């Protein structure tokens, strides 16, 4: 595929650690970078081996640069205004989550993108993680029958940057909220309980989806979890699938045996896992977490005028579900 020329707004830690390297791996030429400081923009370009143009005013960059799209990775509260100005400039936009802090704000931005006829993609990278893509295939193809129920866990020390329930839900847990929407569809009912204390978050949530799937979410944002941890178990008519820590998918198909299965080695699972090699360097994590996949998808959508999986309109539903969950926590 021909490389895509993208301009970037923001060069903070997350952008520099995950987004820029993934974009380059996906086939991006960095055409320009805009931050609030010209020297910082120059350093970022140099760091990523680009001969592009530095800016300290993103509006000037939008005026001057003819590119395939703009990548916005800034502070969450700045995303709406930055993205709206990109849309007004007629640019395709990739923006890291969250885009808007409510369904209403998200809808305004989705409306603007649709009216302008530009691509608007929100960075819900878990949709593009290989383990969850394989899980989505199992659900869609019904190779194990119909999906009936699930259990999901996400735990992390979010205390340094999330000081209340809403910040935790919309800055951190939103990834899992969006993921279950992507896997199972829209939600019909929500109940939930919390045992939180300011930035120490503990939540247990039950969901029933319009297609009948039921499931539970366990969210924890506390110093107890010095390591980030997540897993997702889905039970089907004829088996189950278990994603563990993003890098392993175990698929069990219902089996029958001539004799009691504990008498022999007949029970079998299929386990999908990546290879381990020093040749992968840091890129293995970027692929497994979905960062490279989401950038590749954005490039494809820009080149072909396709609607992204995690588009602006879809983001409205994810934000609405976040708000619904928050309203049901007791």
Could you read off the pLDDT of 138-162 as tens digits, one per residue?
999 999 999 999 999 999 999 999 9
Separation CA 193–CA 205 (nearest Å): 6
The answer to whether the CB of 255 falls within 8 A of the CB of 268 is yes
Give the CATH number of the domain where residue 246 resides. Answer: 3.30.360.10
Mean pLDDT of the chain: 96
- Exposed/middle/buried for residue 113 (C-beta within 10 Å: 0-12, 13-18, 19+): buried
293: in domain = no
Q: Do residue 242 and residue 156 come from a single domain? A: yes
Strands 120-123 and 239-244 come out as unpaired
Task: Look at the alpha carbons of 118, 73, 169, 77 in this order and tell me if their dihedral is positive or negative.
Answer: negative
Which are the contacts of 48, defined by CB distance < 8 A and separation ≥ 6? Answer: 20, 21, 24, 30
Q: Do residue 42 and residue 101 come from a single domain? A: yes
Task: Look at the alpha carbons of 308, 314, 316, 318 in this order and tell me if their dihedral is positive or negative.
Answer: negative
Determine the pLDDT at residue 1: 53
pLDDT at 298 over 80: yes
Q: Do residue 100 and residue 141 come from a single domain? A: no
Query: DSSP H helical segments within 27-160, as ranges?
Result: 38-47, 58-64, 79-88, 103-116, 130-141
Q: For residue 312, how far is the Cα from the chain centroid?
A: 13
Q: Domain of 151? A: 130-277
CA distances from 322 to 98, 171, 182, 186 (A): 11, 10, 14, 12
Separation CA 139–CA 124 (nearest Å): 19
Nearest-CA neighbor of 57 among 101, 7, 93? Answer: 7
Taking only the tens place, the pLDDT of each residue in 169-201 is 999 999 999 999 999 999 999 999 999 999 999
Taking only the tens place, the pLDDT of each residue in 103-135 is 999 999 999 999 999 999 999 999 999 999 999
Separation CA 30–CA 7 (nearest Å): 6
Taking only the tens place, the pLDDT of each residue in 246-269 is 999 999 999 888 888 888 888 899
**pTM: predicted TM-score of the whole model, two decimal places:** 0.96
Tokens found for residue 153? 């866990």
Nearest-CA neighbor of 91 among 112, 75, 108? Answer: 112
207: in domain = yes
Q: Do residue 137 and residue 270 come from a single domain? A: yes
Q: Do residue 162 and residue 267 come from a single domain? A: yes
Domain count within the chain: 2
Q: Do residue 134 and residue 104 come from a single domain? A: no
Give the CATH number of the domain where residue 72 resides. Answer: 3.40.50.720
């Amino acid at each position: 595929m021909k490389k895509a020329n993208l301009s970037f707004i923001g060069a903070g830690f997350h952008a520099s650690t995950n987004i820029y390297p993934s974009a380059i791996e996906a086939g991006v030429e960095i055409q320009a970078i805009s931050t609030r400081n010209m020297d910082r923009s120059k350093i970022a370009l140099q760091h990523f081996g680009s001969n592009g143009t530095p800016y300290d005013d993103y509006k000037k960059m939008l005026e001057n640069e003819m590119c395939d799209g703009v990548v916005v990775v800034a502070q969450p509260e700045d995303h709406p205004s930055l993205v709206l100005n990109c849309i007004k400039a007629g640019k395709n936009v990739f923006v890291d989550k969250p885009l808007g802090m409510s369904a209403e704000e998200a809808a305004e931005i989705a409306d603007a993108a649709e009216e302008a006829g530009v691509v608007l993609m929100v960075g819900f990278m878990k949709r593009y993680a290989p383990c969850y893509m394989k899980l989505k295939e199992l659900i869609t193809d019904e190779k194990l029958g119909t999906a009936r129920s699930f259990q999901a866990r996400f735990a992390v020390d979010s205390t340094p940057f999330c000081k209340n329930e809403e910040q935790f839900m919309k800055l951190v847990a939103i990834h899992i909220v969006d993921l279950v929407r992507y896997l199972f569809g829209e939600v019909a009912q929500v109940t939930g309980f919390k045992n939180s204390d300011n930035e120490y978050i503990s939540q247990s949530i039950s969901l029933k989806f319009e297609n009948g799937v039921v499931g539970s979410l366990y969210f924890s944002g506390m110093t107890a979890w010095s390591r980030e941890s997540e897993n997702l178990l889905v039970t089907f008519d004829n088996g189950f699938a278990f994603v563990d820590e993003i890098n392993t998918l175990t698929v069990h198909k219902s089996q029958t045996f001539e004799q009691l299965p504990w008498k022999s080695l007949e029970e079998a699972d299929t386990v999908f896992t990546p290879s381990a090699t020093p040749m992968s360097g840091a890129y293995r994590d970027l692929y497994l977490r979905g960062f490279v996949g989401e950038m590749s998808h954005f490039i494809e959508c820009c080149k072909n005028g396709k609607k992204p999986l995690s588009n602006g309109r879809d983001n409205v539903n994810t934000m609405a579900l976040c708000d619904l969950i928050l309203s049901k926590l007791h």
